[in-house]
């Protein structure tokens, strides 16, 4: 089947591309024009991946990527902290972008299914409630990003297009992306160490998203419904969380998760007083994934396996990290806005 991936050259998108190719699908990637996109476009052109470089805020660009597809996996979004610094851009991309995707799918006769990738942060502060958070619990906008994702979910649900909405928990990469770790540094001191969080590996996210696209498009076990005109999938119209699950050791506290990340990188952990003590200061929790897991069967890797993957990939760099860990830690602690430390404003 033909699958379009918006934001396909982002960290999660690369894993989704690889999963699509592994299953024999034809892939179209839609992403912004830039050095990173062009680099990956050249790399994946050798694997017959079609790349459309454009602006998701422009309908003509979006239509060029969506036309003729069986399914669209929508990853493109403006995330924190950029969403807070530029709320106008966040709204244009996160809301106007999905409006263009829906318009393009309708222009093609509603033949494509949509996997709308959202965020568990739309649930707002939940730490004072008994876990797990359930998909049908009320959402609660807390910032620009969550406000736009809630609005995007509403637009998708009202569109009449075959869809599902999958809200991602904290996604851990299985490749070394410097940008990921820099982004984590910008927000980690706002994560109360005692609060619950649930992680999921990027490769399991990719499994879930591609399986959802196959199910919605009727492409199960190699066959799909003619023209995608009928959706017999149990996923149709559903919302769910994509999180790693308690059985895989993926339900942790922020402190346990962050300490494990630092240990795998080979860095000492920052002083605890530099982290917020507001239990609802960051919007993660443990999630009810039972139904979505039964449909997509994506919880295939544990937190322990992630640590092993990262330890192996960082092995050659450990001597350098050990040599520099004191100045790195000093710089890290300056990024906190808690405990009297200097705030970091990139």
Per-residue pLDDT at 100: 99
Predicted local confidence at residue 229, as pLDDT = 37
pLDDT tens for the chain, residues 1 to 346: 999 999 999 999 999 999 999 999 999 999 999 999 999 999 999 999 999 999 999 999 999 999 999 999 999 999 988 999 999 999 999 999 999 999 999 999 999 999 999 999 999 999 999 999 999 999 999 999 999 999 999 999 999 999 999 999 999 999 877 777 777 887 899 999 999 999 999 999 999 999 999 999 984 434 333 333 345 688 999 999 999 999 999 999 999 999 998 998 889 999 999 999 999 888 899 999 999 999 999 999 999 999 999 989 888 888 898 899 999 999 999 999 997 543 332 2
* Helix H or strand E encompassing 53: strand 50-53
- 206 assigned to some structural domain: yes
Q: Is residue 125 part of a domain?
A: yes
| Model pLDDT, residue 118 | 99
Residue 219: the pLDDT is 43
Please report whether residue 128 resides in a domain: yes
User: Which CATH number belongs to the domain containing residue 217 in this structure?
Assistant: 3.40.50.720
Residue 31 domain flag: yes
> Model pTM?
0.92
Residue 204 CA to residue 130 CA, distance in Å, equals: 26
Sign of CA dihedral 307, 248, 165, 218: positive
Domain count, the chain: 1
Asked if the structure places residue 307 within a domain, the reply is no
pLDDT at position 231, please? 56
Question: Is residue 258 within 8 Å of residue 284, measured between CB atoms?
Answer: no
Instruction: Name the 3-class secondary structure at 324.
Output: helix
Would residue 279 count as lying in a domain? Answer: no
Domain assignment of residue 319, yes or no: no
Domain assignment of residue 136, given as a range: 2-172+199-242
pLDDT at 336: 94
Rg (CA), the chain: 20
Alpha-helical runs (H) found in the chain? 11-22, 35-45, 59-66, 82-85, 87-91, 97-107, 144-157, 178-188, 202-216, 254-265, 290-296, 303-314, 318-333
Query: Quick check: is 325 in a domain?
Result: no
């Amino acid at each position: 089947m033909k699958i379009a991936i918006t934001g396909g050259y982002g960290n999660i998108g690369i894993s989704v591309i690889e999963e699509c190719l592994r299953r024999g699908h034809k892939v179209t990637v839609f992403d912004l024009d830039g050095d990173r996109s062009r680099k990956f476009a050249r790399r994946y052109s050798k694997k017959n991946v079609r790349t459309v470089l454009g602006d998701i805020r422009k309908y003509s660009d979006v239509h060029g990527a969506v036309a003729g597809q069986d399914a669209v996996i929508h990853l493109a979004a403006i995330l924190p902290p950029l969403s807070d610094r530029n709320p106008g851009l966040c709204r244009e991309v996160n809301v106007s972008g999905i409006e263009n995707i829906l318009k393009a799918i309708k222009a093609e006769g509603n033949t494509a299914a949509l996997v709308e990738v959202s965020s568990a942060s739309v649930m707002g502060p939940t730490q004072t409630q008994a876990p797990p958070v359930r998909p049908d619990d009320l959402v609660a906008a807390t910032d620009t990003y969550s406000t736009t994702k809630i609005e995007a979910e509403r637009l998708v649900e009202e569109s009449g297009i075959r869809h599902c909405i999958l809200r991602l928990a904290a996604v851990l990469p299985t490749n070394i992306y410097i940008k990921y770790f820099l982004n984590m540094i910008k927000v980690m001191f706002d994560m109360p160490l005692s609060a619950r969080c649930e992680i999921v590996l990027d490769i399991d996210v990719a499994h879930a998203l591609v399986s959802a696209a196959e199910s919605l498009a009727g492409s199960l076990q190699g066959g799909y419904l003619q023209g995608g005109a009928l959706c017999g999938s149990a996923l149709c119209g559903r919302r769910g969380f994509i999180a790693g699950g308690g059985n895989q050791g993926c339900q942790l506290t922020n402190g346990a998760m962050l300490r494990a990340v630092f240990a795998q990188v080979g860095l000492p952990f920052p002083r605890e007083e530099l982290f917020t003590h507001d239990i609802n200061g960051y919007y993660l929790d443990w999630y009810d994934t039972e139904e979505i897991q039964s449909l997509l069967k994506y919880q295939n890797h544990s937190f322990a396996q992630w640590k092993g993957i990262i330890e192996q990939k960082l092995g050659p760099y450990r001597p350098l990290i050990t040599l520099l860990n004191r100045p790195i830690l000093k710089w890290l602690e300056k990024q906190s806005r808690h405990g009297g430390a200097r705030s970091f404003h990139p």
